Amino acid sequence: MGNMDVFVAVKSRRSVRSYLPDPVPKEKLDRILESARLSPSAMNRQPWHFVVVTDSAKRKALSGGHFAHFLEEAPVVIVGCGDKDASPKWYAVDTAIAMQTMVLVATDEGLGTCWIGSFNEGDVKALLGIPPSYAVVALLAIGYPHDKPSLTGTVRSMLLRRRGMESIASYEIFGNGYKSDAPQIGEA
Ligand SMILES: Cc1cc2nc3c(=O)[nH]c(=O)nc-3n(C[C@H](O)[C@H](O)[C@H](O)COP(=O)(O)O)c2cc1C
């Protein structure tokens, strides 16, 4: 066991697809964004830009994707952009690292989050005035979770199931399944 409780946040995080209307307190939002700012990036280029969207008309406009309807009710949507010119090879990786860091800090702050890949990039760029050199990497919904389970039944088990350790990690050579002695946490 480590000394810090990062793993507590890792274990307790779930994608939250139903939110209370309560706003996210400014000091929590500030800490979440600070964690993005401090994230690692290739050559320390920090090729990211995050648009914090709270305006309900804008959130509604962002919620048009097939798997994104709950962006309308999440009080904050963070739009993760990566500068393709500043870091052509790593902009997406760097931006994703910063976004997952925000997810873990938000979890630690008692907030729910969900990554969203279901959006039209051109529409999002036009809506928010994102410059041409930036790609929209992903969106992040943030807010207080609504208690009702956002998923049920087979969809739930499909979306939460994790592949076994030996199929996702190898020891010394690819295909020699890594044998973990840690308890394997899995919902399904
Ligand atoms: C890049 C990315 C895009 C995703 N896009 C969506 C999405 O558009 N809509 C959605 O409901 N969930 C989305 N998810 C959430 C995944 O479905 C979820 O992480 C996965 O099923 C595991 O469940 P868990 O996050 O609750 O552990 C996305 C996740 C990632 C990492």
Q: What's the predicted TM-score (pTM) here?
A: 0.94
Say what the pLDDT of residue 187 is: 53
**Rounded to whole angstroms, what are the CA distances from 72 to 39, 150, 179?**
28, 15, 43
Among protein residues, the one whose CA lies closest to atom 9 of ligand 1: 67
pLDDT digits (tens, 9 = 90+) for 11-52: 999 999 999 999 999 999 999 999 999 999 999 999 999 999
pLDDT digits (tens, 9 = 90+) for 49-84: 999 999 999 999 999 999 999 999 999 999 999 999
Say what the pLDDT of residue 150 is: 63
Two tokens, residue 46: 């920090």
Say what the pLDDT of residue 114 is: 98
- β partners of residue 125: none
C-beta of residue 78 within 8 angstroms of C-beta of residue 51: yes
| Vertex 116 angle, CA 29 and 165, to 5° | 100
**Domains of the chain listed by start with CATH number:** 13-148 (3.40.109.10), 151-180 (no CATH)
Residue 119: partners with Cβ closer than 8 Å, 6 or more residues away:
62, 64, 65, 68, 136, 139
* Cβ of 14 less than 6 Å from ligand 1: yes
Say what the pLDDT of residue 119 is: 98
Choice from 11, 12, 15 to test ligand 1 binding pocket (greatest atom count within 8 A of CB): 15
**Rounded to whole angstroms, what are the CA distances from 126 to 4, 22, 71?**
41, 28, 18
CA of 177 to the centre of ligand 1 (A): 26
CA of 140 to the centre of ligand 1 (A): 10
pLDDT band for 174, please (50, 70, 90 cuts). Answer: very high
- Edge-to-edge strand ranges of the sheet holding 76-83: 48-53, 76-83, 134-143, 112-116
Whether 1 has a pLDDT exceeding 70, the answer reads: no
Say what the pLDDT of residue 152 is: 73
